[in-house]
Structure 1
Amino acid sequence: MPQYGTRPLPVVTGGSNGIGYSLAQQFASNGYDILIAAEDAHHLEQAAACLAAGGAKLETHAGDLATEEGVNSLYGALRGRPVDVLCVNAGVGLGNAFVETDLQRELRMVDLNVRGAVQLIKLVLKGMVARNEGKLLFTSSIAATMPDPFGAVYGGTKVFLRWFGEAPRNELKDTDVAVMVLMPGVTDTGFFHRADMDDTRAGATQSKDDPDVVAKAAYEALMADTHKVVPTLRNKVMAGVADVTPAPLAAQIHRGLSEPGSGKT
């Protein structure tokens, strides 16, 4: 690990692309050193080269955060350096009917989106509480406001992250450790392609949110100690309606976005 100065250190998982990369950009432009973590070393190197052009001191860590060993390796790479901000952003999705999807891919999704997140947060949050300072960001999804047909396991992991984030925030309300849940809507990243959802209405739409806009909203809300943020007015309205809509109706509405073939005209 390079010799850092005295600037605060955020750790961003899934930081080589998409919302994670945009989050790293926010920290880079606001005077932070950064550690970005992801599985693909080549993508990390490309991301780091772009981020470092702005003057931030960058470290990358390639590892499989769906495994206990991978999370421990990331934590060990910190070499005792306090983490000022932890962005738990790494995650994958998988579309199609639950009865037809691959079980091993779904179990790995649970390991990355849930088990690995819990492990990393447990390790890092203990240090934050001991110092009585730090910030923690969970990347959930607007999908956590409604049932997710044709993305049942993914949606379940995001529901977990939504409420898991709110619980320690309450536990730590008398400390100076801030916890926030980010709930983005349909965003212009590689998520839908990797999740085999290119032919869905959500995957095919041309009106996806800009990940830089999502990340800016997340950064500002985190600095303001907001408990959650749903970026863009359109998504705020959708999330508010979904939260009070009966589950069967909400599931049917979501089906219109996630059903295979729904994006074809």
Structure 2
Amino acid sequence: MVDHESGKGLAVITGASTGIGYELAKCAARDGYDLIIAADEDRIDQAAAKLREFGTMIDAVEADLSTLEGVDRLVERITASGRSVDLLMANAGRGLGKGFLDQDFAEAGKVVGTNITGTIYLIHQIGNQMRSRGEGRILLTGSIAGFMPGSYQAVYNATKAFINSFSFALREELKDSGVTVSCLMPGATETEFFKRAGLLDTAIGQLKKDDAGEVARIGYDAMMDGEGDVVSGWKNKLQAAVANVTPASVLAQQHAKMAEPGSGAK
């Protein structure tokens, strides 16, 4: 693997058009990595244009990462580069507010497709290549939301519980392979997530949130140091610790107060 402090390697970042993903891409570009970045919107090209200011090669892929076909498109672009992936940051994620029975099921399915199916399919593809080489770093963006039942975000929180769990399991499986797996578990972060998820009228949507750049740097550094997991921010660390000793029924009730539609106006 190319050393993170000297020379260029290749980093792949999903969900990199905005928010934490874009900030993760900045971290890697600043370190001298060439990038292949992906998202399901054309703003990925605007992100690529800004990232080229760091002077490294930036390739942008617009693909629906909730589908196997979309992930295949990204993998094909990686293969066409003729290069090995040194850093894989599987950050693409989608949220959805409202009660589960009130959600459009196709939209709920896209949350599962993006957060789980597309994510683990990409890791299966690239992770096998890394294991064959005996080197590589993988960062998954989980969430402290995965520690609690997400009333009015039921599908989203469940997908993040999956990612949190999956990352620990995969890390153990690869512990002697030369491939490290890290999981970034942020709390509410200042991104477009809450707008896209329809959560702006909720209490959690109106709370002051963490800075995406700071969250990304914490996750990036944890990945480069080979740490297994990192919860960004002391408030989030406390919330995660409390969640571990609080009954699930109580957590679900507390989450409802924060995420119920209209709760931001109460």
Q: Which residue, out of 189, 199, 216, partners 2:191?
A: 189
Q: Which residue of 1 aligns with 2:48?
A: 48
Q: Which residue, out of 94, 113, 120, partners 1:111?
A: 113
Q: Which residue of 1 aligns with 2:58?
A: 58
Deviation at 1:56, TM superposition (A): 2.2
Q: Find the aligned partners of 1:53 and 1:87 in 2 and give their Cα distance.
A: 21
Alignment of 1:201-240 (within 5 A): 201-205=203-207, 207-240=208-241
Secondary structure of 1:61's partner? Answer: strand
Deviation at 1:112, TM superposition (A): 1.3
Q: Find the aligned partners of 1:221 and 1:162 in 2 and give their Cα distance.
A: 15
Question: How many corresponding residue pairs?
Answer: 258
Is 1:35 equivalent to 2:36 in the alignment? yes
Is 1:162 equivalent to 2:169 in the alignment? no
Q: Find the aligned partners of 2:102 and 2:217 in 1 and give their Cα distance.
A: 37
Deviation at 1:244, TM superposition (A): 1.5
**Aligned Cα root-mean-square deviation (Å):** 1.0
Once the two structures are superposed, residues 217-258 of structure 1 have per-residue CA deviations (whole angstroms, 9 ceiling, x without a partner) of: 001111111111110111111111111211111111222221
Once the two structures are superposed, residues 170-191 of structure 1 have per-residue CA deviations (whole angstroms, 9 ceiling, x without a partner) of: 0111121010111110000000
Q: Find the aligned partners of 2:36 and 2:257 in 1 and give their Cα distance.
A: 38
Question: Quick one: which amino acid aligns to residue 47 of structure 1?
Answer: A
Alignment of 1:123-162 (within 5 A): 123-162=125-164
Deviation at 1:117, TM superposition (A): 0.9
TM-score, normalisation: structure 1: 0.95
Secondary structure of 1:209's partner? Answer: coil
- The runs of 5 or more residues in structure 1 that have no matched partner are 1-5
Secondary structure of 1:95's partner? Answer: coil
Question: Quick one: which amino acid aligns to residue 236 of structure 1?
Answer: K
Question: Quick one: which amino acid aligns to residue 264 of structure 1?
Answer: A
Question: Quick one: which amino acid aligns to residue 141 of structure 1?
Answer: S
Q: Which residue of 2 aligns with 1:263?
A: 264
Secondary structure of 2:31's partner? Answer: coil
Q: Which residue of 2 aligns with 1:250?
A: 251
Q: Which residue of 2 aligns with 1:173?
A: 175
Q: Find the aligned partners of 1:118 and 1:54 in 2 and give their Cα distance.
A: 30
Deviation at 1:111, TM superposition (A): 1.1
- Structure 1 residue ranges (4+ consecutive) displaced by more than 2 angstroms after TM superposition: none
Question: Quick one: which amino acid aligns to residue 204 of structure 1?
Answer: Q
Once the two structures are superposed, residues 31-76 of structure 1 have per-residue CA deviations (whole angstroms, 9 ceiling, x without a partner) of: 11111101112x1111111111122221101111111111111101
Q: Find the aligned partners of 1:221 and 1:68 in 2 and give their Cα distance.
A: 28
TM-score, normalisation: structure 2: 0.95
Question: Quick one: which amino acid aligns to residue 166 of structure 2?
Answer: F
Deviation at 1:118, TM superposition (A): 1.4
Question: Quick one: which amino acid aligns to residue 246 of structure 1?
Answer: P
Secondary structure of 1:175's partner? Answer: coil
Question: Quick one: which amino acid aligns to residue 185 of structure 1?
Answer: G
Secondary structure of 1:244's partner? Answer: coil
Q: Find the aligned partners of 1:40 and 1:260 in 2 and give their Cα distance.
A: 27
Q: Find the aligned partners of 2:13 and 2:205 in 1 and give their Cα distance.
A: 25
Question: Quick one: which amino acid aligns to residue 144 of structure 1?
Answer: G
Q: Which residue of 2 aligns with 1:82?
A: 84
Question: Quick one: which amino acid aligns to residue 241 of structure 1?
Answer: V
Secondary structure of 2:45's partner? Answer: helix
Secondary structure of 2:182's partner? Answer: strand
